[in-house]
Amino acid sequence: MYNMTVVVPIMGGYGESRPFWGCLTQMTKGLTDLLVIDNTGYDEGQEEQIKKYVFPFWSGKTSYDKMDTNLGMIQSMQYAYEKEKADKNRVLAFVHNDLYIYEPGWDNLVKEFMRDDVGIVGFFGGEGAYPGGGRLYNWSNMMDAEAHGGRYSGGFKEVAVLDGMTLMTNIKMLDVRDGFDQDYDVHHMYDTDICLESLDRGFKNYSMGIPIHHQGGLTACRGDFQEWANRYMKVDNGGEQIIYNKNRALLEKKWNHRLPYHVTDKPYFGNKAGG
């Protein structure tokens, strides 16, 4: 069975995310490690709270890595890969701190399912992707699944691309491209990109039909993040939209000649996992 590290990048907002931490701690049942990447850049008191109310109840190893500045989601994922890549039998489970998982032992289910030909596993996936990176025929077991597509309960369903609320991948797949494409900035489109990279290398992606709820926007919609995005992009306002536009343009340039794509179009992408 694979080892697993749950990776949670955060940027403040501990008070709002306390239900997430409680749910994650209760539902994670295996000997699974936890890596918290704190991008807040200042002391909000959340390190003390997480070490006091989360770490003592976690079954595996725990690590709280505090950054001097906000790395962003994509660069945080790369940081986790660089830290964990020596263990070729490890799954990295990148989880947003506004996701509620209601399946006891979800981590063990993923570790038992993971194989060398599995690229990405998540909780919300589309059977296809169209130019620009949008998902087609979405499947999940979210509380409001029907509002976004169809409901899929139990087991694993093959999909093309997954939502970045949770992306679980093994180190061997990431090794093919030395982690995540660092041309993408902060967040947006990284989830579609890594899923298409997985397909391009001959791996398969799957959506897991367990009950979840995605609150959405816990970090990105906060005023302090919007202010940070403006400073980061050196503009008075609209920094977040500039990041989105930049990443979408990169995705379109990189993948539009391969899209649209559907999981039934298997010959369209790679031929051999890891090849």
pLDDT digits (tens, 9 = 90+) for 143-166: 989 988 899 998 999 999 999 999
Q: DSSP of the chain, one letter per residue?
A: --EEEEEEEE-S-HHHHHHHHHHHHHH--SS-EEEEEE---S--SHHHHHHHHTGGG-SS-EEEEE-SS---HHHHHHHHHHHHTT-TTEEEEEE-TTEEE--TTHHHHHHHH--TTEEEEESEEEEEE-TTS-EEEEEE-BTTGGGTSEE--SSEEEESEE-TTEEEEEHHHHHTTTSS-TTS-SSSSHHHHHHHHHHHTT-EEEEE---EEE---TTTTSHHHHHHHHHHHT-SS-HHHHHHHHHHHHHHHHHGGG-SEETT-GGGS-SSTT-
Residue-wise pLDDT for 118-134, tens only, equals 999 999 999 999 888 88
Percent of the chain at pLDDT above 90? 56
| Domain layout of the chain by residue ranges | 3-268
Q: Does domain 3-268 have CATH number 3.90.550.10?
A: yes
Residue-wise pLDDT for 135-148, tens only, equals 888 999 999 899 88
